[in-house]
Structure 1
Amino acid sequence: MMKYPDAYIRYLVHFHGDRDYFECHEILEEYWKELGKPQDPVWVGLIQLAVALYHQRRGNFAGGMKMMASAIRNLETTRASVRQLGLDDRKLLALLRQRLAGLEQNQPYTSLNLPFSDEQLLLACSDLCRQNGMTFGQPSDESNRFLLHKHTLRDRSGVISERLNSLKNKHGQS
């Protein structure tokens, strides 16, 4: 199996295990920022895909459409990178276009599995899900309020504290 970034593996485990799309976004966004310039838009596309599904699951179809359309554009322009990440680019883009059409019709969320082309990657992610108490490919738990509204319910005290310290330092305060 080709060596994949750990952040990508964690993204796939959350994407297919607990369906925590907010966590998928956080994991890959941090990785993408660490990469610096130039940044491969494949990561942006995968982040946008997770955000699109997060929005759709919450009934925010406009936000879901916007993110899904952007994800498709980014993944369309990085098909070779998608293939290098062990995914079938042709099937993935067809699946995302189908999901976008559903979003345009305000179709409710259903769980989505990415089309793997690397069987070893699929097995590794499935094993990691099992090790973490998740079932690979299980449907989203739509009764989990924290999963559905994580952006408003998560603990932000560390981020807020860091921002305040940054502002104080910027203004010469201690």
Structure 2
Amino acid sequence: MYPNAYIQYLIHFHGDRDYFECHEILEEYWKEEPRSQRKPHWVGLIQIAVSLYHQRRGNWKGAARMMEHALAILQKEEAAVRELGLDYESLLRLLGNQLDDIIHQRAYKSIMLPIADGELTETCIRQCEKLGFQFGSDSDMANLSLLHRHTLRDRSEVIAERQRQLQKRKQR
């Protein structure tokens, strides 16, 4: 019923709290569609994860910007949010409260997206158990690879692609 990428997003969001992985999973899924058919609600969910990643690291400006964008998108995507098994009103309230915490630079606290579909919750709990995660656990603030994941990844392919694109523009 739900795309596997979305379930994986929820597992990482509520299990190991790997927001970077949440971003990667949904972005890859979102990009599978032709540009003209890409759904904005996926971007909203990606931006929630990115915002929390920034907040957890103390990047208040980046966290606020991403949460503001996520809220702006998801406020226009009620039907899509409901189809994803989320409680729309609770989600908007939660994100508004999270944005307030970010703006006032309150310490990061793990949040739970309000899943309204009990079967989806059960699926996520079972998958978390298989992966050795506890659904609903708090972020491991001592796990530096989780907190600083973007600085530890291999970016050689991204850098090489940027160089190729730069060369193409120069040749034009």
TM-score, with structure 1 as normaliser:
0.91
Give the whole-Å Cα distance in 2 for the aligned partners of 1:92 and 1:27.
21
Question: Gaps spanning 5+ residues in structure 1: where?
Answer: none
Residue 17 of structure 1 aligns with which residue?
15
Select which of 22, 27, 30 maps to 2:25: 27
Residue 69 of structure 1 aligns with which residue?
68
1:67 maps to a residue whose letter is M
1:30 maps to a residue whose letter is E
Give the whole-Å Cα distance in 1 for the aligned partners of 2:166 and 2:112.
45
Per-residue deviation at 1:147?
Answer: 0.5
Residue deviations 1:34-66 (CA, integer Å, cap 9, x gap)? 112222110010000000000000001111111
Structure 1 runs (4+) deviating above 3 angstroms are: 157-164, 166-171
Residue 88 of structure 1 aligns with which residue?
87
Residue deviations 1:86-132 (CA, integer Å, cap 9, x gap)? 00010000000011111111001000100011000000001000000
Residue aligned with 1:67, SS: helix
1:22 maps to a residue whose letter is F
Residue 58 of structure 1 aligns with which residue?
57
Residue 8 of structure 1 aligns with which residue?
6
Q: Which 10-residue stretch deviates more, 16-25 or 37-46?
A: 37-46
1:133 maps to a residue whose letter is G
1:140 maps to a residue whose letter is S
CA RMSD of aligned residues (A): 1.7
User: What does residue range 1-174 of structure 1 map to in structure 2 within 5 Å?
Assistant: 3-36=1-34, 37-161=36-160, 166=164
Give the whole-Å Cα distance in 2 for the aligned partners of 1:167 and 1:92.
39
Give the whole-Å Cα distance in 1 for the aligned partners of 2:166 and 2:49.
34
Per-residue deviation at 1:163?
Answer: 5.3
TM-score, with structure 2 as normaliser:
0.92
